[in-house]
Amino acid sequence: MSADVELDCRDLPCPRPIIELAKALPGVPVGGLLAVVARDPAARYDVPAWCRMRGQEYVGEEAADDGAPRYVVKRLS
Amino acid sequence: MSRTTEVYLDSASSARLHPAARDTLLAALERGYADPRRLHGPGRDARLLLDNARAVVAECLGVRPDEVGFTSSGTEGVHRGLLGLTTATGRDGIVHGAVEHSSVLHVVQWRDSPAHASIPVDADGVVDVDALAAAARAAGVGAVALQAANQEVGTLQPVDALDLPAGVPLLVDAAAAVGHVDLPRRWDALTASAHKWGGPAGVGVLVVRRGTRWTNPFPGDDGLDQVGGFPDVPAALAAAAALQAVLCEREEVAARQFAQVERVRSAAAALPDVEVVGHPVQRLPHLVTFSVLYAGGDEIVAALAREGYGVASGSACTASTLEPSHVLAAMGALTHGNVRVSLSRDTTDEEVDGFCAALARVVGEIRAGAGL
């Protein structure tokens, strides 16, 4: 699925992908989608946990074109 | 860089030797060198010390001396205990909680079986015991493993509420719990580790109740007397002395630690975007874990060390595998920025308050450094 904002954090170790998510969120319209591509295995758990802690919606995980995990978040507030 | 004055807040990894263990160890090193199977004087001395160690550990755990075996570690106790149960039942399948110690998970990976099942936990880390009991009824299940308390988040498991079918034995890994809380009563085999309660490292305990079918899964006979080969008699006796001493002071120490941990929990939860992990009440008295959003576990551990506090972390960047903690992952908790604090028996209120203040400084500095 396409997102309003796309972050490439392929080669960043956690917590950097989560930090980038937090920085990018204000640029996403409420109700819009924010996607982050991250290879770090911690992102699989930390993106949903960040959504829970920050009151955003975790939409799910997909694979990017090169197979890297891509996590999609919906801005709720 | 560590200071000599560093406050040690990692007793759950390995506790400082209890003074009672030190005295006993030094005395036993002089007397306990011989082979306890020999009939000469030094052999009989070693036998006396070993039997004494077993008797004391048995009394402390509420079991019979001939039900107690000493292994070389808690991990070896789990390996021999679990594989010995499945070998005896002839069914390789192991049903276990998702947050068990890696020694349990390694057994499951090592002895492949389609009947293995990992049972999920709730957000506090409590294993669903009804699901565990249901899974234990499946064909091919030879044993169940459930910890007494979780080693990373301190949550106590409702072991005595577990209603297992007849013929499926339960191994309780009590390594995190022994010396800190009352132990579960309904189990067939139990394991523990002396260096977690203030005994020396290199002494594990495997208890197998009489009437439980258990077969040594590794070369050797089926007795528990010298289960892993020639025993370290002085260390076993020192471990027993430490356990006895720890249980004598437990009520007072545990009450103090429970309140101290409550202060750490409150201080951590009061920081922005810090989540305290684990059950708030049904927990070990001395251990607390929390995760700090936007901070690396290695960064926090290093920064706290510079402030003079030694703590552990379950974050991937601090693990040899570079995988995040399976415990935090199973709970749906944040895996980065994780800190585990475990108090020693003599940790003071001043040290706890000093740690809380240092934590607030460190978290603020790391967040500012990340541009947040």
Best interface-test mutation with B: which of A14, A16, A58 has the largest number of B CBs within 10 A?
Answer: A14
Query: Whole domain around residue A54: which residue ranges?
Result: 5-74
Place of tokens 């209603």: B163
For residue A45, the Cα-to-chain-centroid distance in whole angstroms is 11
For range B199-203, the mean pLDDT: 97
- Whether the per-residue pLDDT at B45 is higher than 90: the answer is yes
Instruction: Share the mean pLDDT of chain B.
Output: 96
Residue B181 and residue B284 in one domain: no
**Is residue B10 domain-resident?**
no
B-chain residues within 8 Å CB-CB of A52? 332
A-chain residues within 8 Å CB-CB of B295? 15
CA A13, CA B41: separation in Å to the nearest integer?
Answer: 61
Q: Element (H or E) spanning A74, and its range?
A: strand A69-74
Best interface-test mutation with A: which of B276, B328, B334 has the largest number of A CBs within 10 A?
Answer: B334
- Does the CB of A76 have a partner CB in chain B at under 8 Å? no
User: Residue B372: its pLDDT value, please?
Assistant: 80
Residue B39 and residue B127 in one domain: yes
Structurally, chain A folds into a number of domains equal to: 1
Distance from CA of A45 to the nearest CA of B (A): 6
Residue B243 and residue B258 in one domain: no
| CATH number (domain holding residue A11) | 3.30.110.40
- Does the CB of A46 have a partner CB in chain B at under 8 Å? yes
- Whether the per-residue pLDDT at B282 is higher than 60: the answer is yes
Active site residues of B: 317
Q: Give the model's confidence band at A1: pLDDT under 50 very low, under 70 low, under 90 confident, else very high.
A: confident
Contact B312, B271 (CB under 8 A): no
User: Residue B320: its pLDDT value, please?
Assistant: 67
Residue B222 and residue B296 in one domain: no
**Is residue B12 domain-resident?**
no
**Is residue B4 domain-resident?**
no
- Whether the per-residue pLDDT at B255 is higher than 60: the answer is yes
Q: Give the model's confidence band at B222: pLDDT under 50 very low, under 70 low, under 90 confident, else very high.
A: confident
Query: Whole domain around residue B50: which residue ranges?
Result: 19-248
- Does the CB of B274 have a partner CB in chain A at under 8 Å? no
Residue B120 and residue B265 in one domain: no
| pLDDT 10s digits, B352-368 | 999 999 999 999 999 99
Residue B213 and residue B283 in one domain: no
A-chain residues within 8 Å CB-CB of B335? 14, 42, 45-46, 49
* Closest C-alpha to B232, from B205, B267, B261, B259: B205
Residue B109 and residue B236 in one domain: yes
CA B243, CA B58: separation in Å to the nearest integer?
Answer: 10
For range B101-122, the mean pLDDT: 97
Distance from CA of A20 to the nearest CA of B (A): 9
B-chain residues within 8 Å CB-CB of A46? 324, 334-336
For residue B260, the Cα-to-chain-centroid distance in whole angstroms is 20
From A15, A23, A52, residue closest to B336, measured CB to CB? A15
Residue B142 and residue B189 in one domain: yes
Q: Do B273 and A13 touch (CB under 8 A)?
A: no
- Whether the per-residue pLDDT at B71 is higher than 90: the answer is yes
Residue B79 and residue B155 in one domain: yes
**What is the percent of chain B where pLDDT is above 70?**
98
Q: Which position among A6, A8, A10, A14 bears the catalytic label?
A: A14
For range B219-233, the mean pLDDT: 90
Q: Give the model's confidence band at B4: pLDDT under 50 very low, under 70 low, under 90 confident, else very high.
A: low
The ipTM estimated for the assembled molecules is 0.95
Taking the CB of residue B181, how many other CB atoms lie within 10 A of it?
20
Higher-confidence residue of B138 and B2: namely B138
Residue B237 and residue B289 in one domain: no
From B293, B296, B329, residue closest to A53, measured CB to CB? B293
| pLDDT 10s digits, B298-342 | 999 999 999 999 999 988 776 667 789 999 999 999 999 999 999
B285: cis peptide before it, omega within 30°? no
- Output the six-digit token pair for A59: 């939409």
**What burial letters (b/e) apply to B69-94, b meaning 16+ CB within 10 Å?**
bbbbbbbbbbbbbbbbbbbbbebbbb
Structurally, chain B folds into a number of domains equal to: 2
- Whether the per-residue pLDDT at B126 is higher than 90: the answer is yes
Instruction: Outline where DSSP puts E strands in chain B.
Output: 7-8, 68-71, 93-97, 117-119, 141-147, 170-173, 189-193, 204-208, 274-277, 287-292, 309-310, 338-342
**Is residue B290 domain-resident?**
yes
Residue B287 and residue B214 in one domain: no
Structural domain ending residue among the three candidates B248, B266, B289? B248
- Output the six-digit token pair for A3: 């997102």
A-chain residues within 8 Å CB-CB of B123? none
Strand partners, A61: A71
Residue B178 and residue B280 in one domain: no
Q: Count of A–B CB contacts within 8 Å?
A: 63
